[in-house]
Structure 1
């Protein structure tokens, strides 16, 4: 049912005159007749009785008039609420994100956010997980996106998606010839890791400890791109997020090393101070994040 047709019907029911209805709505009289005809076809009923001497609404027309008034009222109220909501979402939104999330996951979320709220000014801070937690705690950002969670009791932690990680190596690395590797195959390898404070590094070290994997050497680099460059040169292997390596694997610059009977997943979380719940911009960002991810 079209809004314009319903509005035409309500006006005609009140004026009891198609010509006057056309004048009030600034449309032609044939358009009025067409709107009414379409409604009668949709509801399979006659809405008006018209003759040279009389014009009155039918019982089913009365039913549509009663409900139609409610529909128009709800429509107008909803329209005003949405306009008010869009108007309220403006100004600055400060987001802190860990490197993996900020460089590979967050951009797609922000594209949608800007489409829906063009008056929103975004300020993005990229750092490792520990740095982002500190920024959220000190209210330097409105919300933070981190790998894993935090034990900080003063912050609200909301998981928003699950991240899968893979062991990766250069396409020429000898592990590629083994098919699915075992824990023994991974012993005494050179591992390229992120810096201290990184969620990705913390997860890798947890994996190495829990699986009892001994490391021949461990080199740290403060960017995922740097790690990939080292791996491509055959310097070592690493454990990286699927979002980080996806393009490189497609281009065959890197290869995934499958570990038999094991997969690696972690939680990505949105964190913020309880005081930030009062900010409309933060609420809007949370909703967009959960919807997108």
Structure 2
């Protein structure tokens, strides 16, 4: 066999980083060794894998075609290493969007770590757009996503049901009323998640068209920051009920009923369609299903307080 796993590992690292120096640093090797390994791989088959533009590298069509196969092969090699090392699972990289990552992802990760304490696992938390990009770059093995996804390279399966809730501070005039029509909501100052998040995607699809023009006062990337801003009576917002349960229980935030909107949504488990599902991903998905079996809706989950 002409190929070595090390050559393929170097190729995959360079493909992810699009930079030989960063890939070499990640693999704890010299830049010249990484560059020579890539050149040798391309020379063996007389087949360039990258377009070289200045000092940057970009996968060409051949490189894009072979990367999923390389990534799958390296994943299988890690599974073999883990098995021979004593039954450990291969390292697992999980992606999660912010609401899921902060309130559910950590629960599944905790179960995984308890059952497989010697198997490395990491959790990457970002908005839906960023997590999708990481999946497509093979930067994570499986993801838990709240936004709507339609991409031919990704396998998307339903997981838990959730819903968004409009809410305000207890001192806000709408707190005493308890509900609001569209005209009233359009006259409020809104504090919302940033574009690219699943929560904002749902708001823009369902609520925003009914309001027409509205006062967008703040866009924030973190759910907790939005809750604090609303508690300070800077405006009203719309977030997952999952993230608001404890605040509603304490009375620091108040739900505004909006029966005119269907704010239900689905959480999803997502992975790359061209990537083989290793044992570690299978185990993680089983643990997600275990959580799902206990609660079809996020409102049915008994969760600890996360400040």
Check conservation: 2:147, 2:201, Cα contact below 8 A. Answer: no
Asked if the contact 1:182–1:260 (Cα under 8 Å) also holds between the matched residues in 2, the reply is no
Residue 143 of structure 1 and its aligned partner are, at CA, apart by 0.8
Quick check: 1:139 aligned with 2:138? yes
Distance in 2 separating the partners of 1:229 and 1:191: 13
Query: For structure 2, which runs of at least 5 residues remain unmatched after alignment?
Result: 1-82, 293-307
- Work out the CA distance in 1 between the residues paired with 2:282 and 2:144: 14
Describe the shift of the 1:106–1:288 C-alpha distance in structure 2 as closer, same or farther (beyond 3 A). Answer: same
Name 1:197's counterpart in structure 2: 196
In 2, Cα distance between equivalents of 1:93 and 1:192: 35
Q: CA deviation at 1:261?
A: 4.3
Answering whether residue 254 of structure 2 is matched by residue 259 of structure 1, we say no
Residue-pair matches, total: 208
Structure 1 contact 276–282 (Cα < 8 Å) conserved: no
Q: Give the 4+ runs in structure 1 shifted more than 6 A.
A: none
Structure 1: runs of 5 or more not aligned: 1-83
Q: State the match for 2:155 in structure 1.
A: 156
Instruction: Indicate how the Cα distance of structure 1 residues 288 and 201 shifts in structure 2: closer, same or farther if over 3 A, else same.
Output: same
Identify if the C-alpha distance between structure 1 residues 88 and 155 changes in structure 2 by more than 3 Å, giving closer, same or farther. farther
How far, CA to CA, are the matches of 2:172 and 2:278 in structure 1? 50
Paired position in structure 2 for 1:230: 229
Alpha-carbon distance between aligned partners in 1 of 2:208 and 2:191, rounded to the nearest angstrom: 16
**Deviation per residue, 1:232-285 (Å, 9 max, x gap):** 110111111112111111111111111134441111111111344331101111
Aligned to 2:268: 269
Alpha carbons of structure 1 residues 168 and 214: separation in structure 2 relative to 1, 3 Å: same
Separation in structure 2 between the aligned mates of residue 160 and residue 260 of structure 1, nearest angstrom: 24
Name the SS for the 2:106 alignment partner: helix
Distance 2:185 2:144 in 1: 31
User: Could you report, residue by residue, the CA deviation over 1:29-68 in whole angstroms, capped at 9, with x for unpaired residues?
Assistant: xxxxxxxxxxxxxxxxxxxxxxxxxxxxxxxxxxxxxxxx
CA distance in 1, matches of 2:161, 2:218: 27
Shift of 1:88: 4.5
Task: Tell me the C-alpha RMSD between the 2 structures.
Answer: 1.7
Q: Which residue of 2 aligns with 1:125?
A: 124
Partner Cα distance (2:148, 2:88) in 1:
28
2:103 pairs with 1:104: yes
Aligned equivalent of 2:210 = 211
